[in-house]
Amino acid sequence: MEHAHDDALLTPADRLALSRRRFMTAASATAGVAALSACAGGGGGGAPDAPADGGGEKSDGNPFGVAEGSTVDVVIFDGGYGDEYAIAAGKAMEELHPGVTVEVNSTVNIGPELQPRFVGGTPPDVFDNSGAQSMDTEALISEGQLAELDALLEAPSIDGGTVGESLLPGATDPGTYSGSFLAMNYVYTVYALWYSQKQFDDNGWSVPTTWDELMALGETVKAAGSHLFSYGGQNASTYYQELALSMAVKQGGVEVAKNIDRLEPDAFAQDAVVQAYAALEEAVKAGFFVPGGAGVKHTQAQTDWVTGKSVMYPSGSWIENEQRDVTPEDYALTGAPVPLLGEGAALPLAAIHGTAGEPFMVPSQGKNAAGGLEFLRVMLSQEQATQFTALTGSPTVVQGAAPDPADASTALTSTLAMIEAAGADTFNYNFSEWYGLGADNVTLWTEFLDGRTTADQLREKQQALIDAVREDDTVTKFDVP
């Protein structure tokens, strides 16, 4: 019998194999689990299936044939966006389809709670696969657990036209795995450095545009008895991976991120990555991080930040909603693009790591997959998308769905401004999500931020993780455009 506490003794390759074996051994006992290969190289059997017909009468108002009297089982990740938006969408769906019941449940432990359901053949009809404990996407795909979502894009939108026509350009890219559209990412996330505009104004500080300026601010803050950064080492130290890789991509260009996603043997030895990791090591050695971060969760680290123990925090645009209850009313939360590493950057300061996120998936073995698709169609309406942004301060992938600018917070206003300023200069990377490396990367980055490993050692260990994936023929590899 395998024990979780023994996993730390394994090599990266062994941990990867163990993760897949736990899923696949259990899943193999479940009837009807089909393997996928058409969507990616390195896998087994046939192509993913479209969701089964719901059994009800189809129409423009019920394009998937959701049956009257049926129940839709929805599971939401209760993280930075909460679950209020999903509950509202469920009520809207019940109003649109009298007699249909939408049950919305939320959890922060998507993987631990849903894996037994997949193994037992009783997955939900749609789920939000997000958070530090999300399910292994590669394993779900390779085991045929996800349904194709093309029918959703082709369906009539509640607001006219098709659902696909209502989305921002590129909205479906992150959920498309080597040609198969398997995840509808709902939120347009901008990754940035967040700070209090009031605090900066009160102290006469300028928002850093270069790494040298950021380090100079760190010295100023340290002299005043505070810290530049906080971090939650228990589950979110990789927010600083985001900062480092975003600076590396700006310095070296989008190929830097693509080489990592391609699992190249020297991906973490690229000059721009070396520079970025060395820069973060400089901040660690300078004592710019609140001590004790290795032992706290991200929510505590973020509370330390908004209550004055630190002044900047790298995160996605979900941060406003996640910290809403503890952020001072006059904080004026604002986001700025991560700084440039130095001269000769390939991308401008305004470039951002911006992408559709919060992947919603419809299990192929769900009892009411048609209901899962219809729930997503309702969520992708102007009304529900606008309500989501009003509730969370984050834009969705639905074009034009945003509250009145006069009602927008400083955080949302800055997010929308960054999207506009970046234009086509946006980038993304997927290696950690694609190959289930989140937990391992958190461990490595926590050790680094805690001063227990060097930048070179961190890069070597992360390279070992992707090398293990690349060399494992049982792992489905995804195409990088």
CB 302 within 8 A of CB 232: yes
Return the pLDDT at 445. 98
Residue 32 has pLDDT above 90, yes or no: no
- Rounded to 5 degrees, what angle do the CA atoms 282, 283, 287 make? 115
> Of 195-204, 334-343, 404-413, 443-452, which range is least confident?
404-413
What is the C-alpha to C-alpha distance for residues 448 and 233, in angstroms, rounded to an integer?
A: 10
CA-nearest of 286, 271, 244 to 432 is 244
Average pLDDT over residues 352-366: 95
Q: Which two tokens stand for residue 256?
A: 């830097």
- Please state whether 158 falls in left (phi above 0), alpha (psi between -120 and 50) or beta: alpha
301-350 pLDDT tens trace: 999 999 999 999 999 998 998 899 999 999 999 999 999 999 999 999 99
Residue 296 has pLDDT above 80, yes or no: yes
Phi/psi of residue 343, nearest 5 degrees: -70, 155
Return the pLDDT at 48. 57
> Of 31-35, 184-188, 436-440, which range is least confident?
31-35
CA-nearest of 337, 359, 358, 346 to 191 is 337
pLDDT band at 471 (very low <50, low <70, confident <90, very high): very high
Half-sphere exposure of 53 (CA within 13 A, CB side): 6
193-240 pLDDT tens trace: 999 999 999 999 999 999 999 999 999 999 999 999 999 999 999 999
Residue 25 has pLDDT above 50, yes or no: no
pLDDT band at 24 (very low <50, low <70, confident <90, very high): very low
Complete domains list, the chain, with CATH: 16-189+356-408 (3.40.190.10), 190-354+433-471 (3.40.190.10)
C-alpha to C-alpha distances, 263 to 14, 238, 468, 478, nearest whole angstrom: 17, 18, 9, 10
Return the pLDDT at 393. 84
Task: Please state the pTM of the whole predicted model.
Answer: 0.78
106-159 pLDDT tens trace: 999 999 999 999 999 999 999 999 987 899 998 999 999 999 999 999 999 999
- Measure CA of the first residue to CA of the last residue in the chain; give whole Å: 41
Return the pLDDT at 20. 40
Return the pLDDT at 153. 98
What is the C-alpha to C-alpha distance for residues 279 and 341, in angstroms, rounded to an integer?
A: 8
37-57 pLDDT tens trace: 223 333 333 445 666 678 889
Return the pLDDT at 133. 87
Q: What percent of the chain has pLDDT over 90?
A: 77
Q: b/e per residue, 348-371, with b = 16+ CB within 10 A?
A: ebebbbbbbbbbbbbbbbbbbbbb
C-alpha to C-alpha distances, 433 to 129, 132, 135, 136, 383, nearest whole angstrom: 10, 10, 9, 8, 30
Return the pLDDT at 321. 85
Return the pLDDT at 423. 86
Q: Where are the alpha helices (DSSP H) in 364-423?
A: 369-379, 382-392, 410-422
What is the C-alpha to C-alpha distance for residues 207 and 193, in angstroms, rounded to an integer?
A: 10
| Cβ contacts of 129 within 8 Å, gap of 6 or more | 77, 110, 135, 137, 140, 183, 359, 360, 361
What is the C-alpha to C-alpha distance for residues 50 and 33, in angstroms, rounded to an integer?
A: 14
Return the pLDDT at 65. 96
pLDDT band at 404 (very low <50, low <70, confident <90, very high): confident
| Cβ contacts of 85 within 8 Å, gap of 6 or more | 379, 384, 387, 388, 391, 392
Q: Which two tokens stand for residue 334?
A: 């604002």
Q: Which two tokens stand for residue 63?
A: 């394009």
Residue 411 has pLDDT above 70, yes or no: yes
Return the pLDDT at 31. 31
pLDDT band at 33 (very low <50, low <70, confident <90, very high): very low
pLDDT band at 7 (very low <50, low <70, confident <90, very high): very low
